[in-house]
Chain A
């Protein structure tokens, strides 16, 4: 190897390392990773970030268009930013649009899980029992200081929105929402339906 080609190779190596680190840094922008709601059937956050290739096929498949790519634009209204490696990953902003579990859409599996090429979203049958047994997107939590039903006015909007009404979310006295954390899958429809602002019932991502 003569000096010329050696210098060329060295420059090449330096450039590429710099490029890779630059790429890494660009991605880190907003380095704190924020907890966010993933599509149904998603692996746990760490595994999900490792497995997902950010192709956007699940977002294309979503019949309700609730799955969006996590960018600054997408989260701007809710003041959330993609954190470390979260850019372009599929996310659901339940307050804007929640997962309807492909209600009324064709296909045997949940459409986003059927579209996923990597197994980051595990294929899940579109069956109430299967969904309730396997999907754990998050858990709904009620802020009793905000909720109308806990403060003297009966509302019940969230209870009526719940796809597993009666098991996951029951109406107590005066339509008080009572969450069963075991049965709740975290679809976010209750958060979407909540008439209070800020939302009195929210989904805490798994």
Chain B
């Protein structure tokens, strides 16, 4: 069985954008519930009318009421509706580093590894929270990198920028480093974590940084509205954003996807977990014309047309959708080897055998 989805990229992009939307929505909803709580406590509703906070609250109220769940409860009873929306809003929190959506809690395996190694004890809450990401990685490989990670999305856009530069005949460099850097960094980071009894890789791990910065940015905007100030302002952004900016600039000018390929400690951990992944990209050797389109497109710098995917493949499916010969697809297997017989060729083979016998 080989699955050759061509429309996967659209879905993947949608998921990536949904993650960005959630990173903005979650802190917004958090502030919204704060305002609701304050308004409930503040028996005098008129204090909220006409103020900027009142305006914001009213706007968010209208948006949330349009959502399913809000509308149903609205009929006749405002208060009921509000508590309904409140529960609705309070069921999501966190960011790409660790998130809770309703009853489902998910934590990055890197965060889990660091917390466990620094505190030297196992906690049920954390193990439950790690369950979905680890199972997902074992089944589908580094899909966090290709489907969720906001840094991955950013770097895919800077990739487009690289193409633009190439189109303008300004050739950006494309240096290659050792892929083992990320494992060394992961090892050193975890060793330091154990020695210092403190999770430190979270401070240099881009999804964690972006999640915190986005959260602080949204909270900063709300603080700004509350204080009623204006003028030039950096939001809640800290110097941590410069790390992200630096990674992106280095990507554009020096080395394509260098962070994901060579450095990212979280990517390294996902790679190790995904070593035994069940879903793999496979090549149908009979159909492949060795055109090399997949090699050009692969963000991880792999060579799908030679069947060497190894632990690095993040199953993004770009090679699958870029293949003009329908030679690449996903298959369920534990080894990287060419897909010998597609269903069609298999049949003819059997018939051939039967006929010759």
Question: Which residues of A come within 8 Å of B, CB atoms?
Answer: 5, 8-9, 11-13, 15-17, 19-20, 23-24, 26-27, 46-47, 49-57, 59-61, 63-65, 69, 71-73, 84-85, 87-88, 104-107, 111, 115-120, 123
Q: What is the interface of chain B mostly: helix, strand, loop, or mixed?
A: helix
B178/A54 in contact, CB under 8 A: no
What chain A residues lie within 8 Å of B112 (beta carbons)?
53, 118
A20, A72, A117: the one within 8 Å of B185 (CB): A20
Give complex CA distance A50, B113 in Å: 12
Rounded to whole Å, the gap between the CB of A186 and the closest CB of chain B is 22
Give complex CA distance A31, B184 in Å: 26
Give complex CA distance A16, B107 in Å: 25
Give complex CA distance A19, B90 in Å: 38
A60/B197 in contact, CB under 8 A: no
B202/A19 in contact, CB under 8 A: no
What chain A residues lie within 8 Å of B114 (beta carbons)?
53
B83/A106 in contact, CB under 8 A: yes
B244 close to A (CB within 8 Å): no
Chain B: number of interface residues, binned into ranges? 35 or more
Question: Which residues of B come within 8 Å of A, CB atoms?
Answer: 26-27, 30-31, 33-34, 37, 40-41, 83, 86-87, 90, 93-95, 97-100, 105, 107, 111-112, 114-115, 118-120, 123-126, 129, 177-178, 180-182, 184-185, 188-189, 192, 196-204, 208, 211-212, 215-216, 236, 238, 262-263
The residue in chain B whose Cβ has the minimal distance to the Cβ of A68 is: B219
Count how many pairs of residues, one from A and one from B, have CB atoms less than 8 Å apart in the complex: 166
A26/B203 in contact, CB under 8 A: yes
Rounded to whole Å, the gap between the CB of A56 and the closest CB of chain B is 6
What chain A residues lie within 8 Å of B98 (beta carbons)?
53, 55, 57, 117
Rounded to whole Å, the gap between the CB of B261 and the closest CB of chain A is 12
A104/B111 in contact, CB under 8 A: no
What chain B residues lie within 8 Å of A57 (beta carbons)?
93-94, 98-100
Rounded to whole Å, the gap between the CB of B60 and the closest CB of chain A is 15
Give complex CA distance A11, B90 in Å: 47
Whether A106 contacts B87 in the complex (CB less than 8 A), given A46-B197, A53-B114, comes out as yes
Give complex CA distance A23, B246 in Å: 14
What chain A residues lie within 8 Å of B189 (beta carbons)?
20, 23
A54/B236 in contact, CB under 8 A: no
What chain A residues lie within 8 Å of B184 (beta carbons)?
12-13, 16-17
Give complex CA distance A24, B194 in Å: 13
Give complex CA distance A116, B166 in Å: 47
Give complex CA distance A87, B123 in Å: 23
A119/B178 in contact, CB under 8 A: no
What chain A residues lie within 8 Å of B198 (beta carbons)?
49-50, 84-85
Whether A20 contacts B212 in the complex (CB less than 8 A), given A53-B98, A56-B94, A63-B33, comes out as no
A71/B238 in contact, CB under 8 A: yes
Rounded to whole Å, the gap between the CB of B234 and the closest CB of chain A is 10
B94, B95, B263: the one within 8 Å of A19 (CB): B263
What chain B residues lie within 8 Å of A65 (beta carbons)?
30-31, 34
What chain A residues lie within 8 Å of B27 (beta carbons)?
60
Additional pairs, 12, CB under 8 Å, beyond known A50-B197, A51-B119? A12-B184, A53-B107, A53-B199, A55-B107, A59-B30, A63-B34, A85-B198, A104-B40, A106-B86, A117-B126, A118-B125, A119-B124
